[in-house]
Chains A and B, each alone.
Chain A
């Protein structure tokens, strides 16, 4: 009795969480103007409408550029910070670690307002660069946590072996450390990209006037009406933010199976 109840409860929780997502995906293929069941037929017309909607496509491009730049900068900084924190001893190491990880612990709204007020105080207005900086600050802890965990498991003597064989410290980093770190670097970059692509709270505060990302675009479209186009957009978002990491993980697994790592 007890286990059956727990099982049923678990299933209900999962249904509650995922049913809306399933509904959005199903309705995005609905032919009917009004997003409701039963579906009247399967069609791609809402995806087509999306494709022809300039505002949405612009937001999509903005999100893509923003996400890619965030991933690039966050990953580079995260790898460098992790190297410093794991491979070197320095004063105030714990404090630096805490500060770098802090953006995860601080509520996003607080972080968003704080950065905005700080830049106002400096006399710097809202811009795409500010939006990017915000996303980098917000995604950096995820990259550092993932990369640090991997770096700790890379034995120092492998790097020492490379040095002894004549590779300079920089050559050693690119020929030994970075390749071994790659799964974490890729995971960190994917994290940074999907978090940036998804983010709405910080983005609403930081984005300059006239610039929309996909989430803020959806938000503003919802204010007018619930168009089936939003369902299609939601489906695209799900494919990108869920499908991309899954694909990355699958590729990483294939590589490690081949090498027997």
Chain B
């Protein structure tokens, strides 16, 4: 098992910079997700850790050792790809045994470990089949078994769930996380899917345009975004441009359209230094619609429902307040508000987050 450290990594392809001066620490045994839209540099970063790409600058350290000059086949890593990448000319058992053949493992030992690995991914009876005879989900489990049977220092997962269909993806997500927790291998997971990242990770690294936007636990990244990009990329948010009037012990006082003055607790405004332009982030699910104003309701504003997107247990509303359109996702147990309804939006200050403008 090993920790991974990246020190000021840069990757350029010709004049294009894919990854810009990036540093990150991936703790031993953790499940760390590199999250971002396509082209943000997350896959490039993973491929550099794997040794499939050489960084233009900077150091890659695994287990305390600099591995920039260690070729991929000597790094002892498990790699799982989006398209499984099983060897089509080998049986499932031969696929899983592949890495052990290059590790001086005795024949009887190979058989035992292959069997164990196949049991771990719950496909003990498929050893003699060829990959083409398996479903996508089965193939991905075999690919996982093949990667972990060699007891890698680091497990690298490159969008491993993207090729599976929706239901299967959610099952595999739980199973993958369970397997990782059981063997405790340091794992780097690349995805563009925020719900995968939030559900599985110990630590999320949000990337955009080759830079790290924020590093933190899922709740931290979700509730206290460090930048407008993170706020918009994770979940559905309303972002109101306003001003910070004062920054004191009990929080930051913001003046924003629609709601007027609102005091955001300090913990939810860690990046806001003082007075000046500021942004208020309101998660769509924290903006509650009611048909009457709350009692003594300081943070309430009238609005008109424009669009109703009914989703069963919840509804997504687009409402208009003055010249602003806001988004609200509310749980309901009855009928949703119809389009055109006059409603009151309410929110609690501690559910908001403040960003520098």
Contacts and interface: CB of A to CB of B under 8 A. Distances in A.
A165 B85 CA distance: 12
Contacts of A155: 83, 85
Interface string A237-261: 0000000000000000000000111
B16 interface: no
Given A165-B79, A165-B147, A259-B132, 6 more contacts: A160-B72, A161-B79, A161-B86, A163-B72, A165-B73, A166-B73
B102 A164 contact: no
Interface of B: 50, 52, 71-79, 81, 83, 85-89, 98-99, 102-103, 130, 132-133, 143, 146-147, 150, 156
B41 to A, nearest CB: 19
Contacts, number: 77
A164 B50 CA distance: 8
A163 B81 CA distance: 13
A162 interface: yes
A260 B133 contact: yes
Given A164-B73, A165-B102, A166-B73, A261 B88 contact: yes
A179 interface: yes
Contact of A160 (B52, B74, B86): B52
Nearest to B149: A165
Interface of A: 155, 157-158, 160-169, 171-172, 175-176, 179-180, 259-261
A158 B131 CA distance: 13
Given A160-B85, A164-B50, A259 B130 contact: yes
Given A160-B79, A260-B130, A261-B132, A168 B73 contact: yes
Contacts of A261: 88-89, 130, 132
A164 B98 CA distance: 11
Contacts of B88: 158, 180, 259, 261
21 contacts: A157-B83, A158-B88, A160-B50, A160-B52, A160-B79, A160-B85, A161-B81, A161-B86, A163-B52, A163-B71, A164-B73, A164-B156, A165-B150, A166-B73, A166-B99, A166-B103, A167-B102, A171-B102, A259-B89, A259-B132, A260-B132
A158 to B, nearest CB: 5
Dominant SS among interface residues on chain A: helix
Contacts of B87: 158, 161-162, 176, 180
Contacts of A167: 73, 98, 102
A6 to B, nearest CB: 41
Q: Please indicate which of the listed interface residues A161, A163, A171 has the most CB atoms of chain B within 10 Å of its own CB.
A: A161
Contacts of A166: 73-74, 76, 99, 102-103, 150
A161 B87 CA distance: 9
Contacts of A165: 73, 79, 98-99, 102, 146-147, 150
Q: Please indicate which of the listed interface residues A163, A167, A180 has the most CB atoms of chain B within 10 Å of its own CB.
A: A163
B126 to A, nearest CB: 13
A155 B77 CA distance: 20
B89 A180 contact: yes
Contacts of A160: 50, 52, 72, 79, 81, 85
Contacts of A164: 50, 72-73, 75, 77-79, 147, 156
Q: Please indicate which of the listed interface residues A163, A165, A261 has the most CB atoms of chain B within 10 Å of its own CB.
A: A165
Nearest to B129: A260
A227 B86 CA distance: 58
